Structure 1
Amino acid sequence: MTHSQSKVALITGASNPRDIGTAVCRKLASQGINIFFTYWKADRVWIEEFNQEISSKGVLCESLEIDLSNAHAAYKILNLVESKLGFPFILVNNAAHSKSDGYLVLDAQTLDEHYAVNMRSTFLLCVEFARRFEKMKLDTGRIINMTSGQDLGPMPGELAYAATKGAISAFTKSLSQELAPLGMTVNAVNPGPTDSTWMTDEIRQILLPKFPMGRIGLPEDVARIIAFLASDEARWITGQIINSEGGFIRG
């Protein structure tokens, strides 16, 4: 693997200053890794500023606005990453679609919208990344997916989200065995409730007592565990769902 190939990461879903994806970009860039991130419906001025912020860390930075519900999104993204920065050896599938529902309102459109982003785009990015990786005969790669604790407890009112994000855990475990012979690890991270774009003061008040460490999880907490899984130190960890929740108490 060449020097340039060893230093490119692809991160989906960095659309806001408080996103988990944004924190991941910052953390990996601070380690000298070139960054390519995707975003959707973001403030253009902020995107330009964020590109400059990442570049100021001494790395290359490129980005793309793309709707991940498009069936061809994975191929377009990977083609552009390769043309702009070279082939990435880290893939972080962070982007997600979330809309509240429940048994009274769940319908086909809601399911399809969640499936397209949370499952199809994640899965296609994973396998296309792996296929290109194998053709290039690289010796180490990292796929890191994001879940939300669906394996640990119920999420009432979030049926489509819980089902489609839960599928990522099953996919991660099976894909990890297929890709292990290539030297590629495949893991997922569950950061627990994280104080990013979705959290309000009311939600914070409800959640805070459930965190025995006395604070709610931050995007930077997630970024640290992702950076570890992307590192050479984690080369023997694969097929795992890492629950990094600060001791969050369910129920």
Structure 2
Amino acid sequence: MKILTGKIAIVTGVRNSKGIGAATCLSLAKAGADIFFTYWSPFDEAERRLERDFPSKLCEKINSFGVRSNHMALDLNLEESQNNLLNTVQNKLGTASILVNNATYEAPTNFRTLTSENLDNHYQVNNRGALLLAIEFAKRYEQQFPNKKEGRISNFVSRGPDPNNIAYIATKGMTIPTTEPLSVALAPIGITVNSIDPGPTDTGWINKEIKNSVLPLFPTGRHGRPEDPAKLITFLASEDSYWITGQTIRFEGGF
């Protein structure tokens, strides 16, 4: 039997076929989990990352592994987005036991262009939205799965010295110190909480110049690929990972 058969997983922020979100959906599906994923087309369209009919095409790929799938557009800026998502998942597939906080708001900002408005835009999705979703997910898990130890929350985080991504790194980095206290809070109800820093991952944004400049910083000899963190997420979703919680894992090939 596949290691995640019978489980339901939520993956937020699944933008396009080249991203970590899509790779995570497919990896979890291969392991037997039913998949519900979200996206937010207006943001993706503004960033020129929108692929025509992508959600339905990804659903077809997920279904090819013999599992169920569904999806919805979700703006994590909205007050009721967390409840709307979890209610929809419940109606379409059932109560989820796996949550992957992959949704991201990112707009280049340096010390000259950073404003309170664009900092708030980053915060609303990268911190407030992700944390409130994790909390509501945990409440529902506790009600539906008492005395079970199969809940899993994984957050994608970021850090580093990029001077042109100050708001993004500041807000994604803020998730790191919340990982440990949240893991302590949720351990008694059977949920583990971990964060993953995948480092520079080639999801289509790395051009030839960046590849050539960054490649020497990878002692393993290649750039990160979406399938790399997807495999880690799948392991963290499994029963074998139960003793791992409260960790921020640098999963970046020695970068």
Q: TM-score, length-normalised on structure 1?
A: 0.92
Residue number in structure 2 paired with 1:14: 14
Alpha-carbon displacement from aligned partner over 1:119-142 (angstroms, at most 9, x marks no partner): 111011100001111122341200
Give the whole-Å Cα distance in 2 for the aligned partners of 1:72 and 1:62: 20
Question: Aligned residue pairs: how many?
Answer: 242
Task: Find the partner of 2:153 among 143, 146, 153.
Answer: 143
> In 2, Cα distance between the equivalents of 1:145 and 1:24?
12
Q: How does 1:23-38 map to 2 (within 5 A)?
A: 23-38=23-38
Which residue type is aligned with residue 157 of structure 2? T
CA contact (8 A) 2:156 2:196 kept: yes
Partner of 1:172 in structure 2? 179
Deviations 1:161-220 (A, max 9, x none): 111111111111110000011111000001110000332222212211111111100000
Q: Is the 8 A contact 1:16 1:197 kept in 2?
A: no
Number of the residue aligned with 1:224: 231
User: Counterpart amino acid of 2:138?
Assistant: A
Paired position in structure 2 for 1:89: 97
Contact 1:5 1:87 in 2 (8 A): no
| 1:157 equivalenced with 2:167 (yes/no) | no
Deviation, 1:49, is: 1.4
Q: Shift of residue 48 of structure 1?
A: 1.3
Look up the match of 2:110.
102
> SS where residue 239 of structure 1 aligns?
coil
Note if contact 1:11-1:92 (Cα within 8 Å) is conserved in structure 2. yes
Report the 3-state secondary structure (helix = DSSP H, G, I; strand = E; otherwise coil) of the residue aligned with 1:37.
strand
Given that residues 90 and 141 in structure 1 are in contact (C-alpha distance below 8 angstroms), is that contact kept between their aligned partners in structure 2?
yes
For 1:200, the aligned partner's letter is N
Cα distance in 1 for residues equivalent to 2:35 and 2:252:
26
In the other structure, the counterpart of 1:211 is: 218
- Note closer, same or farther for the CA distance 1:57–1:125 as it changes in structure 2 (3 Å cut): same
Call closer, same or farther: CA 1:85–1:200 in 2, change over 3 Å.
Answer: same
**How many angstroms apart in 2 are the aligned matches of 1:68 and 1:202?**
33
**C-alpha distance in 2, partners of 1:60/1:7?**
10
TM-align CA RMSD? 1.5
Q: Is the 8 A contact 2:183 2:193 kept in 1?
A: yes
**Counterpart-to-counterpart distance in 1, 2:218 and 2:252:** 9
CA distance in 1, matches of 2:74, 2:205: 21
Alpha carbons 2:6, 2:32 under 8 Å: kept: no
Moved more, 134-143 or 18-27: 134-143
Give ranges in structure 2 of 5+ residues lacking alignment. 42-49
Q: Distance in 1 between matches of 2:213 and 2:248?
A: 26
Answer yes or no: is the 8 Å Cα contact 2:5–2:32 preserved in 1: no
Match of 2:45 in 1: none
Match of 2:125 in 1: 117
Percent identity of equivalent pairs: 45
Tell me, in whole angstroms, the C-alpha distance in 2 between the residues paired with 1:11 and 1:212.
Answer: 30
For residue 44 of structure 1, report the CA deviation from its aligned partner: 4.2
| Residue 54 in structure 1 maps to residue 69 in structure 2 | no
Match of 1:243 in 2: 250
